[in-house]
């Protein structure tokens, strides 16, 4: 009898998103990995005004933006951008 090869599941990776916005009262990470849900990935602010959020993602390409005090904002540390259906741009992350 031959042994069937077991397919390995793609390994998920912990990704840390960071945003410098010391004056902001609220920052949310929003993207196609969370169905653009503005309530799902609220970011945490440290004492220096840096916002972070860790998410676990499978390999693939993901579009995302930040929602900072109710205003959409691109990630200034990521220059990978694609047009969206609203006539603006989304950042792209490849995991």
pLDDT at 10: 73
- Residue 20: C-alpha distances to residues 32, 49, 51, 58 (Å): 22, 6, 6, 26
What is the pLDDT, as a whole number, of residue 5?
A: 60
Cα 65 to the center of its chain, rounded Å: 7
pLDDT of residue 30: 98
Residue 85 in domain: yes
Tens of pLDDT, residue by residue over 30-79, are 999 999 999 999 999 999 999 999 999 999 999 999 999 999 999 999 99
Beta bridge partners of 28: 42, 67
Q: How many domains does the chain have?
A: 1
Residue 57 lies in a domain: yes
Question: Which CATH number does the domain housing residue 80 bear?
Answer: 2.60.40.10
Indicate whether 4 pLDDT > 70. Answer: no
Give the pLDDT confidence score for residue 6 in this predicted structure: 63
Taking the C-alpha atoms of residue 69 and residue 61, their distance in angstroms, rounded to an integer, is: 26
Cα–Cα dist 64/30, whole Å = 6
Q: What is the residue range of 85's domain?
A: 13-94
Computed over its alpha carbons, how large is the radius of gyration of the chain?
A: 16
């Amino acid at each position: 009898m031959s042994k069937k090869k077991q397919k390995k599941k793609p390994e998920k990776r912990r990704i840390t998103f960071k945003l410098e916005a010391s004056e902001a009262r609220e920052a949310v990470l929003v993207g196609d990995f969370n169905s653009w849900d503005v309530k799902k990935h609220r970011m945490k602010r440290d004492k220096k005004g840096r916002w972070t959020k860790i998410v676990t993602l499978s390999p693939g390409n993901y579009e995302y933006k930040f929602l900072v005090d109710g205003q959409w904002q691109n990630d200034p540390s990521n220059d990978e951008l694609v047009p969206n259906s609203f006539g603006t741009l989304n950042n792209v992350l490849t995991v």
